[in-house]
Amino acid sequence: MAIFNKNTLQQVAGFDNEILAEELVWNQAGYWNMVLRNQNTGLPIDLTNTTIDAQIIRRQLSNIRDSRYGLTFDIADYIPSPSAIPLTVTNRDDANGIFTLVFDSNAWGLAANDPQLDINAQNCVGYSGRIKISFPAVNGTPANDQIVFLLFLVRSDGVIN
């Protein structure tokens, strides 16, 4: 499992925002079970009537290196600019603040012959994005969006390319 340098994560999410980052192997399927709780009480945050949307987009990573404090790299727009890729949100249990975010790098249109998947590629494939949880206005409390940033690095599995 990769350890990401704090400064690198701040390039994507800023200083005080939440971020989920993971290094994946090409064609790897997986998921994160998400549980939202009130920081003060520890009680689940009710997700009833919320909209949960998760998307990622291909990014250009450069200067990747493993430093003493974790992976460091620069991140920029990928050229030509790709379309955003929706991620699947399933297994919602609104009353308990639970849902599952599914990620499957095979579904992202990433081809086995992508040069950034070469086993000796200096810079691997990268994606950034976000989970947006939109809470409706309730009893005088205005509508609110909670954002969790996403960062995926995708590398060769050692068999492909």
Confidence band for 42, pLDDT divided at 50, 70 and 90:
very high
In this prediction, residues 63-75 reach a mean pLDDT of 84
The total number of structural domains that make up the chain: 1
How does residue 52 score in pLDDT terms, banded at 50, 70 and 90?
A: very high
Query: Residue 151: which H helix or E strand, with range?
Result: strand 144-155
Whether residue 111 is contained in a domain is answered as yes
- The answer as to whether 161 is a domain residue is no
1 belongs to a structural domain:
no
- pLDDT at residue 161, rounded to an integer: 61
CATH code for the domain of 130: 2.60.40
Closest by Cα among 161, 156, 159, 124 to 25: 156
Is the predicted pLDDT of residue 27 greater than 90, yes or no? no
Asked, for residue 24, whether it belongs to a domain, the answer is yes
pLDDT single digits (tens) 79-123: 999 999 999 999 999 999 999 999 877 778 788 788 888 888 888
